[in-house]
Structure 1
Amino acid sequence: MRKTLLASVAALAVVPALAACTENASDKNGGKGGDARALTVTSSADGCELSAGKAPAGTLTFDVTNTGSDVTEFYLLGSDGLRIVGEVENIGPSLTKKLTVNAPAGDYFTACKPGMVGEGIRAAFTVSPSDDEQETSASDQELIDQAQANYRAYVQDQSGQLLEKTKQFVELYEGGKDDEARALYPVAREHWERIETVAESFGDLDPLTDAREADVDFAAGEKWTGWHRIEKDLWPPAKGYQALKPAARKTYGDDLLKNVTELDRRIQATGADALSYPIDAIANGSIGLLEEVAKGKITGEEEAWSHTDLWDFQANIDGARVAYEGVQPLLENKDAALAKELTTKFAALQKLLDQHRAGDGFVLYTELTQPQVRELSDAVNALSEPLSRLTAAVTS
């Protein structure tokens, strides 16, 4: 079966849910307001309640409200429990966010993830065949085809550059050339960050490659590997840290390169194994990359030792902008005002970020003042609201 943009190669058994994800008994036959494709989700500390456990094929919307005390996420997963069809992240307490996704008939899982950790609270979800799916005009289809081809080429190019830079980085790190490795670290990671939503979709690769120390459950026996494990060794804490010996450096370096090589293999695959890029996934990818900025880069939590968060910030914005510009011609046909607003706010955010450039890169995150951080955060929030409407607009 042809894999979608957010596809995992391995088809593993679904991990048992933390708690039952339930269907609201008051609306079992459809979504809110009688629209069977418009569903509501209530995410609490120990529950994930949907207004319906099924919907007809087509463009589905999930209005996700967080009634718990921790930040939560919501996912629509493929039948293997790994393939991410759509996701909405960083939903704070008492807030509501919308996920819009085009779902063909088939079996799925929904998942809420209170605290944004673990496997989440899961339940089966069914999308049934439908005869009333919206038809796409020939002119719109031409724009969609072009957007898909362009985005595929972009992702493949960035993946190829990521692999090449990772090879160079690992060689420097394993060879003990720390100053050169530190200089290359944020540059190499830019290619990862530009396609982070695609990389994250491979549930078996992302945690091995990009997990932060705070994401790892050491008590449960999880091992910490990847970029940030090496980052800590290159920028060690002042006290209490034991530097890795050459043999350990080689182990972590080789493991990082192995996983990045596998990521590139999957992204570059052709034929039956090739990734496809549905228009809703491209739009959701733009939204997701801005969410990555909001939940990690703007707080300085991503690069806890190197403090190169602004390189990541820029790369996420690059990826979000490229994904948006790919669907922009289609959006201009459907909602010209939204297209103009998004173009203006992307430019405003970039102008603000450019103020923190230094040489070929940026100042360290620790050099930003609190007013400067708030200014960046406000600009991200100003872009986030209209960008959240992108997928619904281009799939309407």
Structure 2
Amino acid sequence: MRRLLLVLAVLIVGAGGILFATTASGGVPLAPFAPPPPVQVVYEPADGATDVDPKAPVSIAVTDGRIVEVTLTGDKGGEIEGTLSPDGLRWEAQGPLRYGATYTWSGTVEDTAGTRSPLQGSFTTKKPTKVVRGTLNIGDGRTVGIAAPIRIQFNAHVADKAAVERALKVTTSKPVEGSWGWLPDEGGGSRVDFRPKEYWPAYTEVRVEANLEGVDYGGGAVGAANLTSSFTIGRAQIVKADVNSYRMIVIRDGKQVMDFPASYGLDSDPERNTRSGIHVVSEKFTDKRMVSERYDYDVVVKWAVRISNNGEFIHANPDSLAAQGSSNVTHGCVNLSVENAKTYYDSALYGDPVEVTGTPIQLGPRDGDIWDWTVPWSQWKTMSALN
């Protein structure tokens, strides 16, 4: 019986509610069974912090336990992506934060005994010093030509072009190889164009998504809003403008549909040569006033289709009718008869290519607006901030 008592252990509850182990051989207490320490959570930035730099590290770390699950959510919805360490002791945010936003923690932690408690807290990022707006050149539902670039024009300089470009997405109903390219700032604002390697396939559906709201443009500037557009590439219409032929030919979906007598820029004056290269239709006017102090003219022409920003149009000019089809006498425009100019005008879409050949002066950036196709594809790709 004595031997049995020596090995028998009993639990006696002490005055403080702590359990003690004793032995029957003398009641000497052994080590108490203390509860596990509470799990400690460290928020970075601290709970309730304000004016937080959106680029600063964001994390949660625990001791005396582990993270079961964690979510960081912005006040406009959407969870921030993050990575949990294999031991469950640390979670770090991976996704970018927005300026002027409040972020809220939620989730669960667990102590060493398996008891769980909620994560809770929040912080607010600092407001941006400047909000930059962007504008897409092609609106929803439009039908455009096969050489139309997609352009986003910003109203201020963009310093972190790579951050912007990572927020841009183009999807197409037909396979298209293309790239974004940053053009020199114009009017105080940055601009970026997307063009395919070759002309767009005819009848392609295009969707543009520019998720720019809150994107850090650098220098404290952020994107103002997201931009989207869904549009259609129309029929494949190409103007073939060989100045030495004195003709203007229009090819539509592989078939010739127009062949008009034309007069191009005066051969003997380099300043009046029609520029060689791929021009792109950008505007149309039923009546367009044209003024030149240098050449002393001020006229209004009919059925004017702009093909560059250096003053080149395809338009009607009855005064050059005798030269159309036989000589080049214009100030750089493509002159047609009134009837032929109207026929072409009615067919032209924004983004149609006009391929001018046969002159020693090449179209280039100084001619303004849509000069994307004057850049070789290998060079165009280097104009992306991600290459």
Report the TM-score, using the length of structure 1 for normalisation. Answer: 0.24
Compare the two structures and name the one with the higher helix fraction: 1
Compare the two structures and name the one with the higher strand fraction: 2
CA radius of gyration, larger in: 2
Report the TM-score, using the length of structure 2 for normalisation. Answer: 0.24
